[in-house]
Copies of this chain bind each other. A is one copy, B any other.
Amino acid sequence: MARKPPTKPRKNALQERSRATVDALVEATARILVREGFEKTSTNRIAEIAGVSVGSLYQYFPSKEALVAAVINRHNEEIMGIVRSVLTEVTDMPIDKAVRRLVTVAIEAHRINPELHRVLAEQIPRAGKLDVEAFNREVHSLVRAYLESHRKEMRKIDLDVATFICVSTIEAIAHNTVLNQAEMLSEKMVRTLVDETTRMVVGYLRRSDMHG
């Protein structure tokens, strides 16, 4: 029974100075994760880079994991904001336009801070697991809602399965494009990938009498 370290702040930052301290700590954590990797990310180093003492760090974060979790949440919130707004924007657009927009935005989102994204995706152990699942569930339900309201453009198909496949596909292509193909990221290449991915997904969802 390994007891997991707590994740909630030990104390709430009330005054402005302390809020700045908290921000500096989270920012420093992100910087170190990106520049030196998870292994080098020690609490002493975080405090040093944040220009704060270890003691102060532990006033607001009960553990190292809590700091990493804060970074993950900040990043997830940023992306969820984008996802929510693009799905609103797209609500009344037909499937082909909507999918194209989604694919484009997925790649853009991955390009915001690719190095942080890579570290979070590749190097982070347990922490933030629940948050990631919540994140996935929200994306799933938002996309599902869109598909549901556009059923008439689609062939007969299980909505959850279709959502699962679309989300997995778009996420994977965006992820691999940005993280494994950084060299080949000319604007032209990005356009090609968006075109192709859109074509595949739309072709999959559409009723066949709507082709062409």
Which residues of A pack against B, CB within 8 Å? 2, 37-40, 122-126, 133, 136, 157-158, 161-162, 164-165, 168-169, 171-173, 176, 180-181, 192-193, 196-197, 199-201, 203-204, 208, 211
Are A197 and B126 in contact, CB atoms less than 8 angstroms apart?
no
Contacts A173-B168, A173-B169, A180-B136 known; A161 to B192 CB distance under 8 Å?
yes
Residue contact B197 to A200, C-beta cutoff 8 Å: no
Across the interface, A172 reaches (CB within 8 A) one of B169, B181, B197, B199, namely B169
Residues of B within 8 A of A157 (CB): 196
For residue A197, which residues in chain B have a CB less than 8 angstroms away from its CB?
Answer: 165
- The distance in angstroms between the C-alpha atoms of A105 and B141, with both chains bound, is 29
Please tell me which one of the listed residues B126, B136, B193 contacts residue A161 in the complex, with CB atoms under 8 A apart.
Answer: B193
Residues of B with C-beta under 8 A to A173: 164-165, 168-169
Partner of A201, one of B171, B193, B200: B200
CB distance from A154 to the nearest CB of B (A): 13
CB of A103 to closest CB in B, whole Å = 11
For A208, the chain B residues whose CB sits under 8 A away are 211
A172 to chain B: closest residue by CB: B172
Contact B161 A172 (CB under 8 A): no
Nearest neighbor of A204 in chain B, beta-carbon distance:
B200
Interface contacts beyond A168-B173, A204-B204: sample of 14 additional A-B pairs, CB < 8 Å, sorted by A: A37-B125, A39-B126, A122-B124, A123-B125, A164-B176, A164-B193, A165-B173, A165-B196, A165-B197, A168-B172, A169-B169, A199-B204, A203-B203, A203-B204
A167, chain B: closest CB distance, angstroms: 9
Q: Which residues of B are found within 8 Å of A165, using beta-carbon distances? A: 173, 193, 196-197, 200
**Contacting residue for A200 out of B38, B126, B181, B200, CB 8 A:** B200
Which residue from chain B places its CB closest to the CB of A195 in the assembled complex? B161
Question: What residues of B have a CB within 8 angstroms of the CB of A136 in the complex?
Answer: 180
| B contact residues around A126 at 8 Å (CB) | 37, 39, 123
